[in-house]
Structure 1
Amino acid sequence: MGFKALTGFRDFYPEKMAVRRALELAWHQASRRAGFQEFDGPVLESLELFTAKSGEEIERQLYAFSDKGDRRVALRPEMTPTLARMVAARANSLPKPIKWYCVPQFFRYERPQRGRGREFFQWNVDVIGASEAAADAEVMAVALDALRILGLGEQDVVLRVSDRRFLRRMLRSIDVEEVQESEVLGWIDKLERDATAAKRLEEILGQKRAREILAWCERMPLDQAPELAEVLGACRDYGIEAFVEPDFKIVRGLAYYTGPVWEIFDRAGELRAVAGGGRYDGLIAEFGGPDLPALGFGMGDVVLRELLQRKGLEPEPAARVEVFVVPVSPEMLKPAREVLLRLRERGVSADAPYGSPKLSKALKAADLSGARRAVLVGPDEWAEGAVRVKDLASGDERKVQLDDLD
Structure 2
Amino acid sequence: MPKGMKDYYPEEKAVREKMYATFKARAKAYGFQEVEMPVMETVENLTAKSGPDKKEQIFLLEKRSNEQLGLRFDLTIPMTRLFVAKQKELPKPVKWFCVDKNWRYEAPQKGRLREFYQFGVEVFGSESPRVDAEVINLVIDCMQAFGLTEKEVIMKVNSRKLLEGLLASYVSPKQMVDVIRAIDRAAGEDQETLKKELKGIGIENDEVVKLAQIKGSMQEVASQIANCDITEEGKEELEKLKQACALLPKAWVEVDLGLARGLDYYTGIVFEAFDRAGELRALAGGGRYDALTSLLGGEDTPATGFGFGILPFSIYLEEKGLVPKTGFVIEYFVAPVDEAVVPEAFRITEKLRKKFNVEVDLAGRKLSKQFEYAASIGAKKVIVVGSRDLEKGLVTVRDLAKGKEEQVKVEDLG
Question: Given the two structures, how large is their TM-score scaled by the length of structure 2?
Answer: 0.89
Contact 2:194–2:209 under 8 Å retained in 1: no
Identify which range, 132-141 or 246-255, moves more after superposition: 132-141
Amino acid at match of 1:180: Q
Q: Does 1:197 align with 2:194?
A: yes
Equivalents in 2 of 1:33, 1:101: separation in Å?
12
* Aligned match of 2:230: none
The counterpart of 2:172, out of the listed 157, 171, 177, is 177
Secondary structure of residue in 1 paired with 2:259: coil
Equivalents in 2 of 1:29, 1:275: separation in Å?
17
Question: Given the two structures, how large is their TM-score scaled by the length of structure 1?
Answer: 0.91
Equivalents in 2 of 1:147, 1:24: separation in Å?
13
The counterpart of 2:399, out of the listed 387, 391, 400, is 391
Amino acid at match of 1:332: V
Deviation at 1:77, TM superposition (A): 0.9
Q: Flag the 1:211–1:304 CA change in 2: closer, same or farther, 3 A.
A: closer
* Aligned match of 1:350: 358
Secondary structure of residue in 2 paired with 1:227: helix
Deviation at 1:334, TM superposition (A): 1.8
Secondary structure of residue in 1 paired with 2:322: coil
Deviation at 1:99, TM superposition (A): 0.7
Q: How does 1:7-406 map to 2 (within 5 A)?
A: 7-55=3-51, 58-172=54-168, 174-189=169-184, 190-193=186-189, 196-201=193-198, 204-214=202-212, 216-217=214-215, 220-221=221-222, 225-235=238-248, 240-319=249-328, 321-344=330-353, 346-406=354-414
CA-based RMSD = 2.1
Contact 2:35–2:97 under 8 Å retained in 1: yes
1:98-139 deviation digits (Å, cap 9, x = unpaired) = 111011211111111221111101110111112222211221
Q: Flag the 1:202–1:269 CA change in 2: closer, same or farther, 3 A.
A: same
Contact 1:164–1:251 under 8 Å retained in 2: yes
Amino acid at match of 1:228: L
Equivalents in 2 of 1:92, 1:70: separation in Å?
29
Amino acid at match of 1:323: Y
Identify which range, 5-14 or 17-26, moves more after superposition: 17-26
Amino acid at match of 2:244: V
Secondary structure of residue in 2 paired with 1:147: helix
Deviation at 1:302, TM superposition (A): 1.4
Deviation at 1:37, TM superposition (A): 0.9
Gaps of 5+ in 2: 227-234
Amino acid at match of 2:383: V
Contact 1:136–1:231 under 8 Å retained in 2: yes
Amino acid at match of 1:68: R
Q: Flag the 1:244–1:385 CA change in 2: closer, same or farther, 3 A.
A: farther
Deviation at 1:333, TM superposition (A): 1.9
Secondary structure of residue in 2 paired with 1:6: coil
Deviation at 1:313, TM superposition (A): 1.8
Contact 1:29–1:146 under 8 Å retained in 2: no
Equivalents in 2 of 1:211, 1:120: separation in Å?
34
Contact 1:60–1:109 under 8 Å retained in 2: yes
1:139-159 deviation digits (Å, cap 9, x = unpaired) = 122222222222222222111
Aligned length: 396
Equivalents in 1 of 2:16, 2:335: separation in Å?
31
% identical aligned pairs = 36
Equivalents in 1 of 2:274, 2:213: separation in Å?
23
Contact 1:319–1:370 under 8 Å retained in 2: no
Equivalents in 2 of 1:342, 1:26: separation in Å?
31
Contact 1:105–1:119 under 8 Å retained in 2: yes
Q: Flag the 1:348–1:243 CA change in 2: closer, same or farther, 3 A.
A: same
Equivalents in 2 of 1:183, 1:339: separation in Å?
69
